[in-house]
Amino acid sequence: MTRKTILSTFTLAMLVTPLAQAADDLPEITRQSIPLEYQRTRDGRVLYQGLCAACHGVAGHGNGPAAELLKPAPPSLTQLSANNGGKFPSIAVLHSISGKYHSAIPGSEMPGWEEVFNQTTGDLAAARHRVYNLTQYLKELQETHVAVK
Ligand code: HEC
Mean pLDDT over the full length of the chain: 80
For position 15, what pLDDT does the model report? 53
Q: Is the pLDDT of residue 104 over 70?
A: no
Looking at the domain assignment, is residue 146 inside a domain? no
Q: Is the C-beta atom of 108 inside 6 A of ligand 1?
A: yes
List pLDDT tens digits, range 60-92. Answer: 999 999 999 999 999 999 999 999 999 999 999
Ligand 1: residue of 9, 41, 55, 105 to mutate (most ligand atoms within 8 A of CB) is 55
42-69 as b/e: b if 16+ CB within 10 A: eebeebbebbbbbbbbeebbbbbebbee
pLDDT tier at 19, thresholds 50, 70, 90: very low
Flag whether the pTM goes above 0.85: no
Domain count, the chain: 1
Looking at the domain assignment, is residue 55 inside a domain? yes
Looking at the domain assignment, is residue 78 inside a domain? yes
Contacts of 45 (CB under 8 A, 6+ apart): 137, 140
Between 26 and 35, the higher pLDDT residue: 35
Cα gap 92→27, rounded to integer Å:
33
Ligand 1 atom, smallest distance to 134 CA: 35
Ligand 1: residue of 45, 51, 56 to mutate (most ligand atoms within 8 A of CB) is 56
Q: Is the C-beta atom of 53 inside 6 A of ligand 1?
A: no
Nearest CA to ligand 1 atom 12: 74
Give the structural domain span for 132: 3-140
Looking at the domain assignment, is residue 145 inside a domain? no
Looking at the domain assignment, is residue 130 inside a domain? yes
pLDDT tier at 7, thresholds 50, 70, 90: very low
Nearest CA to ligand 1 atom 13: 74
**Interior angle at CA 45, CA 42 and CA 111, nearest 5:** 75
- Cβ atoms of 48 and 136 within 8 Å: the answer is no
